Amino acid sequence: MSVKFENVSFLYLPKTPFEHLALDGIDLEILDGTFTAIIGHTGSGKSTLVQHINALLRPSKGKVLVGDYVIAANEKKVNKLQELRKYAGLVFQFPEYQLFEETVLKDVAFGPKNFKDSEQVALEKAKKALSLVGIEEALFDKSPFELSGGQKRRVAIAGIIALEPQILVLDEPTAGLDPQGAKEMMSLFKTINERGTTVIMITHDMDNVLKYCDRAVVMKDGKIVKIEQPSELFKDEELLKEISLEEPHIISFAKKLIASGMNLELNDIKDFDSFIAQIGKARSVK
Amino acid sequence: MKNIALGRYVPYDSFLHRLDPRTKLLSLIALMVMIFFKFSSTAMNFFIYALLMIFIYALMRISHIKLKTLFKSLKAMWVMILFLLIINVLMPSTGPYFDIFGFKLYHNAIYNTLYIVIRLVMMIALTMILTTSTKPLDLTYALEWLLHPLKYIKVPVHEISMIISLALRFIPTLLEETERIMKAQSSRGVDFEQGKLKDKIRAIVSLIIPLFISAIQRSEELANAMEARGYDPSGQRTRYRKMQWQMKDTLSLVFIAILFGGMITLLITSFDLFLMMGIVL
Amino acid sequence: MKAIEIENLSFSYTKDQEVLKQLNLEIELGSHVCIIGHNGSGKSTLAKLIIGLLEAKSGSIKVMENEVNEKNIHTIREKVGIVFQNPDNQFIGSTVRDDIAFGLENRRIPQEKMDDVIDEFSKKVGMFDFLDQEPSNLSGGQKQRVALAGVLAMNPDILILDEATAMLDPKGRKEILTLVSKMKNDNPNLTIISITHDIEEAYLASRVVVLSDGKIMFDGIPNEVFSHYEELLNIDLDIPFLVRLKRELKNKGIDLDDAFNEEEAVRRLCQ
């Protein structure tokens, strides 16, 4: 049980002037319960990749295995497509654009109802998901369009969380949020991950990759160039340069300190606090 | 979504591509009118249609449109053609008829159906020639030029043309958006392909509402951006895109005018080539 | 002469909620000011008021001594150019070329002169090779570069960036910021007002204005403004890296207070 890509290629708009190989021979395995980051520049194929996980896109070549479900090239229909989409929930970029119901609660319950939950069960799940993302009850009966930008984002994400997926796929979930909102959002995903859900997240924010993710999948031109632990990834100067990836500020600063002779352990730096602790330790040893 | 290629501009460098959009628009109108002329006899009608079809086929060749593409776009019309045939056949008529087991199939019914089908095919072919050889925006300019006289009776010609060109600009953006929202809702279990009527309606609502809301927001931001860059719908503006009238435009129009004049003459004099040659059909 | 003079400016969209409250602000000609604030602090509203897209409820705004009102609106828009947040929704022309031309047409620049201007400014923003491209073939960053070219081609005295980089990826963001500072170097008289979320960008500006709940909370040079650490965190704003570093190290008993840049901080830490 995991997500597995076997030699997957995806041809965008074949036989048209816009034809373009968006994925090129992808081999990838993502284990259950992990927190994986997908990184790379716009146009590197990240979104195309994750849309294969719940069969919004079908491979032109190769196959994708998600849990017990198989999405293979050249097969017209995906077996048990609805079940698959409940198993692997996908949150799009700027998901607040998918809100449409009269009330916040109804909008979140929309997903579970589509997956054949009864009205009551759907509402229960919706309430649970809303409280998890930190939307208070007073807002349940409001129109989603009356909420602030950050609240809309939470409601939209709750709409997927309410499906209780085994795999949660997120496409730049913190884009456009203010720093505090982004922080809360990330710790929410960490909580969900710790409860056993596999989380796969596309992001440009390397601080988040370093702090929260077990592994980073680096993409370029439709190919995977590297799969690595974040702390190892940011040591690979050559790779960083090749894909012009900007390392977290704490890492670049730590590297400068190391270059000037400070004895820091890069692997132990995960976030600002551990970074400061490391400096403190190095200084006191001296 | 991007492969809705019907009548889409295809950047070749043909004679028709290089013509001024005004020439093409005027010629299209003239040809469209000619298609609807009705001459003195059935034989004459079909003769003229044959001439026009050859001419249109030549234009298609020049602008690199394959017959296959034309037939593809006609595919959706089959039902309509069949429908027209049935209506015409069932309509009471006069004149000679075939007797099919007591059912009177009038010759006129068959002719009338054929006329409509031929006109339809020619109209579609002509429109296709225009849109594949002319950039949408150039077409808008030509339209604005053509409608220019209406300004004097207070028709907001400039605004209309600005609206059309903005609509053209945002069609790809909105298509992309549609696809995105459909995918997002599919991820929430919406099935856009099958399901009961009730589910279908819900599916469409879940697409339309977000689409409207984002379109409204877009238009507001667009209006702000236009205003901030000094756009004033009632003010004078200069024009970046200038249409270039060339010798070949004049000659093309003269040719179309002669064709048009010739047709009118035939029409007025009730000239019948076949009658003159003593052939009666 | 000041670039912008704002006196007692108030504004509200609905009756019961004031977005801007009796705001006073002066911006010098040729300065580079960053305006920061959390979502809903009124910063984008302020930009729209300056350029006359919204009308003040009370108070006054002057742009280079011209009162912002209906009568002066053309003058104001000649002096102020603005780049908005959403790359798609401000791309008006059907190609890059037409989009840059849009503003020139409004300005009634003679058609013969347009091509030179379009070439010049598309080169400045590195979009010369894309002049005949349609917006759907461009990235967000490229569209914002076109927007910048379109605005600069009208030769404004004041350039407002209204979260112009918020929807871009890090690469696109960097490109725009590099471009803006290049513009500023080429034309030191250009006044730049950048409304932003990007705290590191604000740290490099010559002046930072912090808006909160429709009022100015802090106003000054970056080092001074960001020394109000707790207050800024309280209104959901981030803190520049160096400021945060110094602060947290100080709590550990390591004092870097006079380190004004990263290199200096590294030097002192490794002493």
- Candidate ranges B145-149, B218-222, B267-271; pick with highest mean pLDDT: B218-222
Number of helical H runs and strand E runs in chain B: 11, 2
The domain that holds A178 is classified in CATH as 3.40.50.300
Of the partner residues B5, B188, B214, the one whose CB lies closest to the CB of residue A111: B188
Residue A100 to residue B205, Cβ atoms within 8 A: yes
All domains of chain C in start order, with CATH: 2-239 (3.40.50.300), 240-271 (no CATH)
Binary contact (C241, A244; C-beta < 8 A): no
Give yes or no for A176 touching C (CB within 8 A): yes
Q: Where are the domains of chain B?
A: 1-134+246-281, 135-244
Helix (H) or strand (E) holding C148, with range, is helix C140-152
A62-89 residue pLDDT tens: 999 999 999 998 777 778 899 999 999 9
Beta strands in A67-207 (DSSP E): 69-72, 88-91, 167-171, 198-202
* pLDDT the model gives residue A17: 67
| B119 pLDDT more than 60 | yes
What is the pLDDT confidence band of residue B6, given thresholds at 50, 70 and 90? low
Q: What is the pLDDT of residues A226-261, one digit of tens each?
A: 999 999 999 999 998 888 888 999 999 999 999 998
What gap in Å lies between CA C8 and CA C267, rounded to an integer? Answer: 46
B183 touches chain A (CB under 8 A): yes
| Interface predicted TM-score (ipTM) of this complex, two decimals | 0.92
Q: Round to the nearest angstrom and report the end-to-end CA distance of chain C.
A: 48
Do residues A143 and A278 both lie within one domain?
Answer: no
Tell me the one-letter amino acid at B178: T
At A8, the pLDDT band (50, 70, 90 cuts) reads very high
**Least Cα separation, residue B190 to chain C (angstroms):** 27
A111: contact with B, CB 8 A cutoff: yes
Give the pLDDT confidence score for residue B171 in this predicted structure. Answer: 87
**pLDDT per residue over B151-186, tens digit each?**
888 888 888 888 988 988 898 899 999 999 999 999
A270 lies in the same domain as A139? no
Q: Which residues in chain B have their CB less than 8 angstroms from residue A145's CB? A: 213
The pLDDT of residue C47: 95
The listed range with the strongest mean pLDDT (B192-196, B240-244, C149-153, C251-255) is: C149-153
Q: Tell me the nearest-neighbour CA distance from A134 into chain C, angstroms.
A: 17
**Two structure tokens written together for B54:** 């050859």
pLDDT (0 to 100) of residue B1: 36
Categorize the per-residue pLDDT at B280 as very low, low, confident or very high, splitting at 50, 70 and 90: low
pLDDT at A284 over 90: no
Counts of helices then strands in chain C (DSSP H, E): 11, 10
The answer to whether residue B4 scores a pLDDT higher than 50 is no
Residues A82 and A181 in one domain: yes
Chains contacting B (3 or more CB pairs within 8 Å): A, C
pLDDT at A177 over 90: no
Contacts of C237 in chain A (CB under 8 A): 178-179
The whole-angstrom separation of Cα A262 and Cα A264 is 6
More confident residue, A42 or A57: A57
Under an 8 Å CB criterion, which residues of C touch B? 48, 51, 53, 74, 77-78, 81-82, 84, 86, 88-94, 97-98, 101-111, 114, 134-136, 150-151, 154
Structure tokens at C121: 């400014």
Tell me: pLDDT of A210 over 70: yes
Lowest-confidence pick of A14-18, B144-148, C204-208: A14-18
pLDDT value for B281: 54
CA angle B229/B233/B237 to nearest 5° reads 70
Minimum Cα–Cα distance from A278: chain C residue? C249
Per-residue pLDDT of chain C (271 residues; tens, 9 = 90+): 899 999 999 999 887 788 999 999 999 999 999 999 988 788 989 999 999 999 998 999 999 999 999 999 999 999 999 999 999 999 999 899 999 999 999 999 999 999 999 999 999 999 999 999 989 889 999 999 999 999 999 999 999 999 999 889 888 999 999 999 999 999 999 999 999 988 889 998 999 999 998 999 999 999 899 999 889 988 888 889 999 999 899 888 888 877 888 888 998 888 7
One domain, residues A179 and A47 = yes
Judge contact between C16 and C80, C-beta under 8 A: no
Whether residue C123 contacts residue C179, with contact meaning beta carbons closer than 8 Å, is answered with no
Domain membership of residue A67 as a residue range: 2-242
Distance CA C156, CA C50 (A): 14
Write out chain A residues lying below 8 Å of B188, CB-based.
Answer: 98, 110-111, 114, 159-160, 163
Q: What is the pLDDT of chain A when averaged over all its residues?
A: 92
Band of the pLDDT at B3, cuts 50, 70, 90? very low
Q: Say whether pLDDT at B38 is over 50.
A: yes
| pLDDT above 50: residue B2 | no
Instruction: Give the DSSP letter string of A26-69.
Output: EEEEEETT-EEEEE--TTSSHHHHHHTTTTSS--SEEEEEETTE
Structural domain total, chain A: 2
- The mean pLDDT value of chain B amounts to 87
CB atoms within 10 A of CB B94: 7
The pLDDT score that the predictor gives to residue B90 is: 79
State what percent of residues in chain B have pLDDT above 70.
96
Claim to verify: residue A159 and residue A235 sit in the same structural domain: yes
